[in-house]
Amino acid sequence: MPNLTINGKPVSIDVDPQTPLIYVLRNDLALNGPKLGCARGQCGACTVHVDGKAARSCQVPVSSAVGKQVVTLEGLGTPARPHPLQTAFLAEQAAQCGYCTSGMIMQGAALLAEKPNPTESEVRAQMNANLCRCGTHPRIVRAILRAASGKA
Amino acid sequence: MKPATVPSRQISRRSFGRGAAATLAGLTISFRLAEAQSPPALPPMIKANPRLDAWVRITPDGAIRVFTGRVEIGQGTLTALRQIAADELDVAFDRVTLLTVDTSRSPDEGQTAGSLAIKLGGSALGHACADARATLLKVAADAWSADAAALKVENGVIRGPAGQSMSYAEAAAKVSLARPVDAAAKRKPAAAQTVIGTSVPRVDLPAKVFGQQVFIHDLRPAGMLFGAIARPPAYAAQLMDADLAAIRAMPGVVEVVRDGSFLGVIARREEQARAAAAQLARTAKWANGPSLFGGNAVFDYLKTAPSETKLIHASKGDAPPASLNHKAQYRRHFQAHASIGASCALAQWDGPKLTVWSHTQGPFPLRGELAKVFKPADVADIRVIHAQGSGCYGHNGADDVALDAALLAQKVPGKPVRVHWAHEEEMAWEPWGSAMVVELAGGVSAEGKLTSWTHDVYSFPHSTRPEAGEGCNLRSAWYLASPLAPQKPKDIPLPNGAAGRNAVPIYAAANQAISTHFLADMPIRTSALRTLGGYFNALSAEMFMDDLAAKAGKDPVAFRLANIADERLVAVLNKAVGLAGWTPRKVERRAAQKELTGTGVGLSRYKNQDCYVAVVAEVAVDPRSGRVRVQRLWSAADVGRAVNPDGVLNQIEGGMVQAASWTLMEAGRWDAGIMTAVDYNDYPIIDFLGLPAITSALIERPQLPSLGVGEGSQAPTGAAIANAVFDAIGKRVGEVPLLPERVLAAIKA
């Protein structure tokens, strides 16, 4: 019965400790942000922060998140108090279908936390393992650079 | 009654009657549908859904609700349609509520596909809203004995010449919209539009950026169970035996379902359903069927297996003698939709009634297809409610998974069952984009004019979607104990075309002969992938143009300009090469260098009737590995009236990125029985490091009709890249994708 801290709140879930975190977040905690994509750690749609670092929640057993701070898109910011990257994604209209968006924002926010003023090539390198099928990559890069510049 | 043969719009009209009665409180209106009298001016979607209140309802409480049969598939349709409605009604964008598709209340517009949502869906909604506005104005004009032309509307308030005012709510209380749409209704001229033509931010993005419920995957009705399907190891495999009891004993399993070779599991938790289905598939005994393509290579198969040959276009004309002739064959591999989120559906049975939540492109056709399986007394007993999915790019597993969910949910009446395919399940079991062979032959005169042009395309089907007719195009129906056969695939005739889409050249070539060779039997199931045959037909024609230009010693841009009659094509081509700083030159072999660079151009008009797009690509080729890097892309597009210019650019540029991925990276692979490239390692798609720098421009033509946009940039982008590779290495690589080994082989040849 793992005890977790999700978006700052303690929660207790009665689940097999080997259960991938994504299922707990989405189905037990009704969080929509992290998306189930490939379930193989290849696409990044399920990206969340575990102790501030970007992590693929489809590859993290819930047991290994015990005692750590897990943050999803919902915990990153809200319409009333948006994270600068959420504001920047809206300003750049950096999505089409939006299925990869949560993972992109979480990966990008982790990058900005570590490196507040990345170059474009650093953004591309850090975002490279997050896939988008609609082809909105140029807008996503612009949104991250916009948030970094403080214009968002 | 045979539900499958009931035209879906009859049902929707009837259910509208019920809805309208509830809405128009206190008004009893009798009306007769215009029967076969519709003047030709009516937009086709209004002919299919003739009642005005099928499209717009303005109720005495002041609410303005508009309806559409079009669905959001990530292309921004819901935003653009609302812009059209707000503009025609003369109300602020935010005052319009656009109701998403629900077969119990929405107009039946068939599929949201073919870049037609704005062109057809938007023109219908705009026409209906213009009619509604005129109807309300007439109420005020009559009340004030004024001329309707003298009235003005400010955000839904009608103003009279003597200072009178009447809100839409007041006017709506005095008139009914429950009548046929007036064919004579006039839409605003472009110059009067204030919402259309502006880049209104997408209405659905805030929810997506803050993690609010918006996707079908996020629906969690009370009591929901999770389903998963145990797939056969090969498409033709049959189930011999399965130990259902062992699976039933697994953690969380509620039901194990077997119907013929269809096997599924219902469990309390999603991961439990997936684990049990995987175990069930592994432990079941299957008998394999015959090898795919009889063990032949697919391109040989396309050229040699029985096919239906049709001359789809021909022209004769006087032409100067050819000074050179050329022919070429180009090949395209199977390619996948490969959405980031796999297909998903929810289904719930309540007695004889089935409710399905689906991200299908065609809620009404899906309802009809489900009715073939479940045979309800009335097709309206099945209700399909649209909810957004991951971007679809064509006919993926969305419809199939709806049947899967409905089949499983039958075993747990009253409970909603969600089925979210695994990514590898989607990749193996969704319909793929067809492999194709295109053969071109043509001649060029001494003056550089095209003297002849023949285009032969060999292709599997590009549209096996749900539709009325014999057979059922939902995959699991083929595996049931009482199976329904798939429909016999048909090609789509011009002007839209499927295998032959964009096979007719955009160039003013004399003596054209365009033929399709259609293989209806498809060992690997194929259907609509964005552009259908359009991407590869236009890409092939553009490769051929550069092959001809090289033979004739011409600059590729000048050669095109000498053979174009359509000024809008000229304009986008000139704009794109201007952006790129194109240097006119002959295409020729370069001396070996550490890195070979090249520039190429691609030009098309989607479906020969939609948007015009020209693209220039700059590539670098590593001569040791054959690896191609697209460094820059420049594009120019003419889409007629752009309802939402930023949305158009998003589509054009997104299509360019996707086409770069198709053209350089994507090829299906299979073994004797099934597709095997089922994850992003085996079927990689473009990533941030592969992303070219993109510059694009729109040529605004606000006075001209809106043209289809969503599939306009793929072909010219692929062509520009392929031609840039030709320019870089001096050899044609005519097999898409341009994988490093193919490019390397061409360099060494």
pLDDT at residue B565 is higher than 90: yes
Contact B724, B593 (CB under 8 A): no
- Chain centroid offset of residue B538 CA: 17
Burial of B659 (0-12, 13-18, 19+ CB in 10 A): buried
| Chain B neighbors of A101, CB-CB under 8 A | 208-209
Interface of B with A in 266-295 (CB under 8 A): 269-271
Does the beta-carbon distance from B210 to A135 stay under 8 Å?
no
Res. B6: pLDDT tops 70? no
Question: What distance lies between CA A127 and its chain's CA centroid?
Answer: 11
- CA-nearest of B529, B353, B545 to B450 is B545
**Whole-prediction pTM value?**
0.93
pLDDT at res. B294:
80
* Res. B61 pLDDT band, cuts 50 70 90: confident
Residues B613, B576: Cα–Cα separation, whole Å: 9
Q: Contact at 8 Å (CB) between B224 and B416?
A: yes
- Which positions 405-424 of B are in contact with A (Cβ < 8 Å)? 420, 422-423
What integer pLDDT is reported at residue B22 of this predicted model? 34
- Give the chain B residue nearest A104 (alpha carbons): B209
Q: Which residues contact A110 (CB under 8 A, 6 or more apart)?
A: A49, A52, A53, A54
As a whole number, mean pLDDT of residues B718-740 equals 97
Closest residue on chain B to A91 (Cα) = B201
Task: Give the A:B interface size as CB pairs under 8 Å.
Answer: 174
Q: Is the pLDDT of residue B486 over 60?
A: yes
Min distance B565 CA to chain A CA atoms (Å): 32
At residue B121, φ and ψ (nearest 5 deg) are: -65, -40
Q: Show residues of chain B in contact with A82, CB under 8 Å.
A: 209-210
CA dihedral B209, B212, B215, B219 (to 10 degrees): 160
Cβ pair B317, B511 in contact under 8 A: yes
Give residue-wise pLDDT tens across range A59-116.
999 999 999 999 999 999 999 999 999 999 999 999 999 999 999 999 999 999 999 9
User: Given an 8 Å threshold on Cβ–Cβ distance, is B214 in contact with A96?
Assistant: no
Angle, to 10 degrees, between the axis of helix A101-114 and the axis of helix A120-127? 130
Question: Least CA distance to B648: which residue of chain A?
Answer: A96
Report pLDDT for B595: 83
Residues of B in contact with A90 (CB under 8 A): 201, 205-206, 209
Option in A42, A105, A135 nearest B654 (CB): A135
A135 in reach of chain B (CB within 8 A) = yes
Question: What does the alpha-carbon distance between residue B616 and residue B618 come to, in Å, rounded to a whole number?
Answer: 7
- Which of A16, A137, A144 is the best mutation test for B, with the most CBs of B within 10 A? A137
Q: pLDDT tens digits, residue range B590-648?
A: 555 678 999 999 999 999 999 999 999 999 999 999 999 999 999 999 999 999 999 99
Nearest to B201 among A90, A100, A129 (CB): A90
pLDDT at B590: 56
d(CA B334, CA B431): 10
Quote the CA–CA distance of B448 and B557 in Å, as a whole number: 12
Partner B contacted by A47 (CB < 8 A)? no
Distance from C-alpha of B390 to C-alpha of B285, rounded to nearest angstrom: 34
Contact A110, A80 (CB under 8 A): no
Closest approach of B533 to chain A, Cα-based (Å): 19
Task: For residue B239, list its beta bridge partners.
Answer: B286
What is the C-alpha separation between B257 and B410, in angstroms, rounded? 10
CA atoms within 13 A on the CB side of B431: 31
Q: Do the Cβ atoms of A86 and B650 come within 8 Å?
A: no
At B587, the pLDDT band (50, 70, 90 cuts) reads low
Is A32 in Cβ contact with B218 (below 8 Å)?
yes
Q: Which of B211, B661, B681 sits opposite A32 (nearest CB)?
A: B211
Is the bond into B206 cis (omega within 30 degrees of 0)? no
Exposed, middle or buried by CB within 10 Å (0-12, 13-18, 19+), for B199?
middle
Task: Write out the two tokens for B240.
Answer: 């011999």
The whole-angstrom separation of Cα B319 and Cα B356 is 58
* pLDDT score, position B41: 74
Give the minimum alpha-carbon distance from B531 to chain A in angstroms, rounded to a whole number.
Answer: 14
B8 pLDDT exceeds 60? Answer: no
Mean pLDDT estimate for chain B: 93
Asked if residue B13 has pLDDT above 50, the reply is no
State the helix-helix crossing angle for B645-665 and B714-729, rounded to 10 degrees.
50
Residue B239's closest CA among B253, B254, B259, B210? B259
pLDDT digits (tens, 9 = 90+) for B349-367: 999 999 999 999 999 999 9
Rg (CA), chain A: 15
The residues near B337 (Cβ < 8 Å, ≥ 6 apart) are A133, B392, B393, B394, B395, B396, B426, B430, B433, B529, B530
Contacts of B576 (CB under 8 A, 6+ apart): B601, B614, B615, B616, B634, B635, B636, B697
CB contact under 8 Å between A133 and B685, yes or no, is yes
Q: Which of B211, B391, B688 sits opposite A137 (nearest CB)?
A: B688
Indicate if the pLDDT at residue B745 is higher than 90: yes
Distance from CA of A67 to the nearest CA of B (A): 23
**pLDDT 10s digits, B34-43:** 334 444 478 9
Contacts of B420 in chain A (CB under 8 A): 36
Is residue B370 within 8 A of residue B356, CB to CB? The reply is yes
Residues in chain B within 8 Å Cβ distance of A77: 210
Cβ proximity of B604 and B636 under 8 Å: no
Residue numbers in A near B688 (CB within 8 A): 123-125, 127-128, 130, 137, 140-141
Percentage of residues in chain B having pLDDT higher than 90: 89
- Cβ separation of A137 and B657 shorter than 8 Å? yes
Q: Is the pLDDT of residue B17 over 90?
A: no
- pLDDT band, residue B7 (cuts 50/70/90): very low
Residues 6+ apart with CB under 8 A from B22: none
Please work out, in degrees rounded to the nearest 5, the angle formed at the alpha carbon of residue A101 by the alpha carbons of A98 and A107: 170
Q: Give the model's pLDDT for residue A1.
A: 56
Mean pLDDT of B10-27: 33
pLDDT range class, residue B295, cuts 50, 70, 90: confident
C-alpha distance from residue B704 to each of B80, B119, B576, B707 (Å)? 17, 12, 21, 9
